[in-house]
Structure 1
Amino acid sequence: MNKQKNNRNKWLHVRLTEAEHNAVNNAFSKTTSTKLSEFLRKQVLSKPHIGRYRNDSLNEFVTVLAALKMELKAAGNNLNQAVKKLHTLSDKKDMERWLITWELDKRSFQKSVDSIASHMDKINDQWFQ
């Protein structure tokens, strides 16, 4: 069972103009090939390429989602801290102050949720256009 080695020991030299070189690099950047030599071999030998597709609306969507995730996480942390504080209270005045703070945190949380819902509606509208 001898395995045949597939060493590439032959060179192919090609001269290109600046515009041709840029066109080759541009075409290469749109594929999943990791090396220019691999890309050019596929081109010359007429093998199929797997193209790379960048969706700008998806990039924007991911950026907005990341910001919304951070906002929601911060609001959730505030609510958790408020509940932890409730468990440590024993005085009636402290409870009244906690209720006021709780109501403010709850309103802030609701604004965050409304903001997220609004962004999701915008994204949904863009997606189905």
Structure 2
Amino acid sequence: METENNNRKRRIYVRLTEKEFTTLESRWKNTTCRSVSEYVRHCLFSKPITTITRDTSTDEAIVQMSYLNRELNAIGSNFNQLVRRVNATSQAAEIKGLLLLFENQRKTLFSKIEEVKEQLQKLAEKWLQ
């Protein structure tokens, strides 16, 4: 911390209504200031205040990507189980049935991969704007 923080011995008391305090607190939370006191000092002495803004469209894209990631992990797990069963079996009829399951899982996997590509494309387009 700065050395002048240690020399702060004077206090100022300000009374605020609930609405005023809520406004002050919400503005403070959107900055990089560590405390309300620091935020108020920056305001009083016209120091620069760095604010944090969030892009809700990016948040939505991240949530969607997280969902698709979980689905891809589940499909990958099913896919691995099928491959293990095919490798472990020696009967032709059972292999034929497993290959049909394998084909269904492959189609599902590729459709989800296409969804991920589309979401990434949308995210890239938003990023480039």
For 1:93 and 1:5, how far apart are their aligned partners in 2?
79
Structure 2 counterpart of 1:103: 103
Structure 2 counterpart of 1:49: 49
Structure 1 counterpart of 2:65: 65
Q: Does residue 9 of structure 2 align to residue 30 of structure 1? A: no
For 1:51 and 1:21, how far apart are their aligned partners in 2?
18
Structure 2 counterpart of 1:75: 75
For 1:25 and 1:93, how far apart are their aligned partners in 2?
68
- TM norm structure 1: 0.81
For 1:7 and 1:31, how far apart are their aligned partners in 2?
24
* Structure having the larger proportion of residues in helix: 2
Partner SS state of residue 47, structure 1: coil
Structure 1 stretches of 4+ moved >6 Å: none
On the 8 A contact 2:61/2:119 being kept in 1, the answer is no
Task: State the identity as a percent.
Answer: 28
Higher mean C-alpha deviation, range 20-29 or range 97-106? 20-29
For 1:86 and 1:76, how far apart are their aligned partners in 2?
15
On the 8 A contact 1:82/1:102 being kept in 2, the answer is yes
Structure 2 residue ranges without an equivalent (≥5): none
For 1:41 and 1:76, how far apart are their aligned partners in 2?
54
Structure 2 counterpart of 1:118: 118
- Give CA-to-partner distance per residue, 1:24-68, whole Å, 9 cap, x none: 223212211121111111222222211111111111111111011
Structure 2 counterpart of 1:93: 93
Q: What is the root-mean-square deviation of aligned Cα atoms in Å?
A: 2.5
